[in-house]
Structure 1
Amino acid sequence: MTASSRPSVPAPGGVPLTLGEPPTAAPGVAVNGFLPQRLAREEAGAGTECGPDFGVYLHVPFCTVRCGYCDFNTYTAAELGTGANRSDYAATAVGEIALAQEALRSAGIARREVRTVFVGGGTPTLLPPGDLAAMLDAVDDAWGLAADAEVTTEANPDSVDAADLAALAAAGFTRVSFGMQSAVPEVLATLERTHDPERIPAVVGWARDAGLSVSLDLIYGAPGETLAQWQRSLEAVLALAPDHVSAYALVVEQGTKMAAQVRRGELPMPDPDDEADKYELAATMLAEAGYDWYEISNFARTAADRCRHNIAYWRSDDWWGIGPGAHSHVAGQRWWNVKHPRPYAAAVAAGNLPVDGSEVLSGEDRETERILLGIRLAEGLDVGATLADRLPQLVDEGLLEAEPAQQGRAVLTLRGRLLADTVVRRLT
């Protein structure tokens, strides 16, 4: 999530579970880096179920190898050493869930039924299915899963087999998101992905046999990837007819191995015009195959196949993030956990929430973020009376659809999706 300014934060050892707000604290300001009791009561009403939908994100920070383009909070066994063992991780996460349950209870929020759960990483399926099931059971015990809850785990194609997927489905998972990235071995090698693309049809079939909904994640714009290779990946995806497709442009993040390779001239920097061509190809091919875009980078066969958990992020609903570095948002308050798994585990073991810092956005920042996130959705954005006069020019430039604009809604055209940042700047 975006951050405007970060307040001073406690040392990375976690904060006490005490949520009471001292008399000198201002309303809406975090105390000890966490959700203040007064804010929760103002937003939700003391002792009630509150506000928007509530989701839970479970972060699993382990990978077998670290891909050169990745800047996520992930670690290999060699990087972690002792003190944050994979075998102990589920128990630590379950411990944080118990602390989170008590925190919401103490803040005056009696119960939050969980509408969505998303297990991300890293590679969550490096943990055995029983560990992921234990984490999901803890969420259910703490808050209760809605009868129609969407429960997703990410997985690498080489990290699961048929038995694993069947066990996850039996545990209550409803959806799996496979990190396919490409169908072309040379592109996968550039991205340092470890799976064989020929395994993708097998894992998709196993997931379907288990009754799981299937999403395939793609990355376009890898250094050296041609338009023909990208089309080959899209054709491979469409041949498998998944329920959902995500297509993300590669971003070379500072501090990654790939950024160093680009800096040394070993790999070319992705070309924005090339990435635009690839996005247009993806949008066209997916639309022709019956996939509707519902967010700039996400496409689904039906409305029921959309990722409800991610939609909750774009709509600024409430969620609690469990795990090292995980971010949370409840009742207008945001906070983030200690990033490294070792101090994270130590904080939870000591009975402390592993919070590293928090913030409350100003009204102006929240409006900017509403535009930034809302404009990405196919349903568009209600711009309000103050911005409505800016829409006709954006329509004339081919960035917004005309009919919604007449109703005061900003809905991006295909060209607008390519220039979404420009549209946001024009609306803020």
Structure 2
Amino acid sequence: MPALPPGIPVPDDGGLPAWVRPTAPASDTRPFGVYVHVPFCTVRCGYCDFNTYTASELGGGANQAAYATTALREVTLARQVLSDAGRSPAAVGTVFFGGGTPTMLPATDLARVLTGIKDAWGLSDDVEVTTEANPDSVTPQSLRVLADAGFTRVSFGMQSAMPHVLATLERTHDPARIPDVVRWARDAGLDVSLDLIYGTPGESLDDWRTSVETALDTGVDHVSAYALVVEPGTKMAAQVRRGEITLPDEDDQAAKYELADDLLTAAGLSWYEVSNWSRPGHECRHNVGYWRGDDWWGIGPGAHSYVSAPGPAPGPASEPTAEARPAGVRWWNVKHPRAYATRLEAGHSPGAGRELLTLDEAHLERVMLGVRLREGLDLGVLSPAGRTAVAGLVARGLLDGRAALAPARAVLTRRGRLLADAVVRDLTT
């Protein structure tokens, strides 16, 4: 798994820079989400480079049974830090439990952490609370406990309907279980999303079609489809390097993306982000908050957090109205669960490092993330050079020409979605 960036030191109490304090004393009105990282898995999949651990990897001092209590210590710290900085949110709008496999913890532990978040800041009336889950890590009873505690969504890691593809990915669940877990979740009153991966070595186009159609047959309202990325240092990267498996080419991945888009659109799910499709009103609002640059606090080992500077969202520093101040602060926790628990038990912040985002860095991120959304990006936030590049991107079929004229937004075409990184480069050069 990748190392954390070095950053600058985080104060022992986790305190935020003085410039994040609003000029007027009031509750922070910016959207605010909470991410809870649960770093436990039964096995480590060969392609995964997330900050996760199996029982054999953890060693002494990292107690899975005590994890909820440890996470709640950081919730208490977060409440104090934000209060001291005058940035206490009016209420939490979204909560997302990710991992790892959050549902390796007892449902009552997840419920206890959610209650702690509610006690710290309150939850909005329409709060969205999601947990990721493996299909073999839930029961009808555990899903009902989550729903009764206030969870509203569950995102199952389906990945594929084909046993040989799941075997290559080292996923442990039986694909025949997918319709059951979707039904159990819906019976409990939860919205359901299915995550799929395309481009696994040995996966044919027909295999991928079967996976997408199987997901749609469950009647879910949200599907995420991600291209397999083999990160350096993973087991699968070593298999590729030794020639044991061969990755598909870009044309294969593009064909699978287009097939998924065709099937999902025909079934009534519209893309709202490059890798996400939903029926109206079923978008994952927590993830949309990341793409729009909202504030959030990440609980757990290796989790990242972000708080913006007060005031309007920044444009590029080259704009004459830009102020010479940071645009926000991002920080990240120590990675190992044992170190994370030890620091919190001693009353210290688990922060390992942080960075102060310059206006140019924040502008780059705003373009890079915002352009991925179906709503696109207001052309007014681009630099003069970025606005000049729009016409060329329209001519190449990467941006929607009508949207660029009115309401003057950079909206990706389907071809543009396949080449989103190239679009961002042109808009930010």
Structure 1-normalised TM-score?
0.92
Q: How far off is 1:423 after superposition?
A: 0.6
State the match for 1:399 in structure 2. 398
Retained in 2: the 8 A contact 1:250–1:270?
no
State the match for 1:107 in structure 2. 85
State the match for 1:333 in structure 2. 329
Partner SS, residue 51 of structure 2 = coil
Partner SS, residue 305 of structure 1 = coil
Which range moved further: 243-252 or 357-366?
357-366
Q: How far off is 1:364 after superposition?
A: 1.2
Instruction: Determine what percentage of the aligned residue pairs are the same residue.
Output: 61
Retained in 1: the 8 A contact 2:14–2:349?
no
Retained in 1: the 8 A contact 2:135–2:158?
yes
Structure with more contact order per residue of length (Cα contacts < 8 Å, sep ≥ 6): 1
Q: How far off is 1:111 after superposition?
A: 4.0
- Letter matched to residue 63 of structure 1: C
Asked if 1:412 is matched to 2:389, the reply is no
Q: How far off is 1:390 after superposition?
A: 1.9
Asked if 1:285 is matched to 2:263, the reply is yes
How many Å separate the matches in 1 of 2:268 and 2:67? 40
State the match for 1:320 in structure 2. 297
Q: How far off is 1:107 after superposition?
A: 1.4
Q: How far off is 1:110 after superposition?
A: 4.1
Equivalent pairs, count: 402
State the match for 2:45 in structure 1. 67
How many Å separate the matches in 2 of 1:131 and 1:167? 10
Partner SS, residue 167 of structure 1 = helix
Asked if 1:226 is matched to 2:204, the reply is yes
State the match for 1:142 in structure 2. 120
Q: How far off is 1:389 after superposition?
A: 2.6
Retained in 2: the 8 A contact 1:48–1:111?
no
Match of 1:39 among 3, 15, 19: 19
How many Å separate the matches in 1 of 2:224 and 2:400? 23
How many Å separate the matches in 2 of 1:343 and 1:151? 27
State the match for 2:345 in structure 1. 349
State the match for 2:284 in structure 1. 307
State the match for 1:210 in structure 2. 188
Retained in 1: the 8 A contact 2:30–2:89?
no
Structure 2-normalised TM-score?
0.91
How many Å separate the matches in 1 of 2:344 and 2:401? 52
State the match for 2:68 in structure 1. 90
Change (3 A) 1:111 1:286: closer
Q: How far off is 1:108 after superposition?
A: 2.1
State the match for 2:54 in structure 1. 76
Question: Which contiguous aligned blocks of 4+ residues in structure 1 show a shift greater than 3 angstroms?
Answer: 5-10
State the match for 1:254 in structure 2. 232
Report Cα offsets for 1:210-244 as digits up to 9, x if no partner.
Answer: 00000000000001111000000011011111010
- Letter matched to residue 360 of structure 1: L
- Letter matched to residue 422 of structure 2: T
- The 5 A counterparts of 1:175-214 are 175-214=153-192
How many Å separate the matches in 2 of 1:131 and 1:77? 18
How many Å separate the matches in 1 of 2:236 and 2:25? 50
Q: How far off is 1:367 after superposition?
A: 1.2
Identify unmatched segments of 5+ residues in structure 2.
309-327
State the match for 2:34 in structure 1. 56
How many Å separate the matches in 1 of 2:153 and 2:214? 20
Retained in 2: the 8 A contact 1:46–1:109?
no
How many Å separate the matches in 2 of 1:228 and 1:7? 46
Asked if 1:155 is matched to 2:168, the reply is no
- Letter matched to residue 265 of structure 1: G
- Letter matched to residue 425 of structure 1: R
Change (3 A) 1:110 1:415: closer
Retained in 1: the 8 A contact 2:88–2:121?
no
Retained in 1: the 8 A contact 2:221–2:279?
yes
- Letter matched to residue 419 of structure 1: L
Partner SS, residue 203 of structure 1 = helix
How many Å separate the matches in 2 of 1:18 and 1:233? 45
State the match for 1:24 in structure 2. none
State the match for 1:375 in structure 2. 371
Q: How far off is 1:6 after superposition?
A: 5.3
State the match for 1:245 in structure 2. 223
How many Å separate the matches in 2 of 1:424 and 1:163? 45
Report Cα offsets for 1:291-318 as digits up to 9, x if no partner.
Answer: 110000000011x100000000001100
Retained in 2: the 8 A contact 1:177–1:216?
yes
Report Cα offsets for 1:101-132 as digits up to 9, x if no partner.
Answer: 01111112344410000000000000001100
Q: How far off is 1:269 after superposition?
A: 2.1
How many Å separate the matches in 1 of 2:8 and 2:81? 21
Retained in 2: the 8 A contact 1:47–1:109?
no
Retained in 2: the 8 A contact 1:156–1:180?
yes
Partner SS, residue 412 of structure 2 = coil
Q: How far off is 1:40 after superposition?
A: 2.1
State the match for 1:169 in structure 2. 147
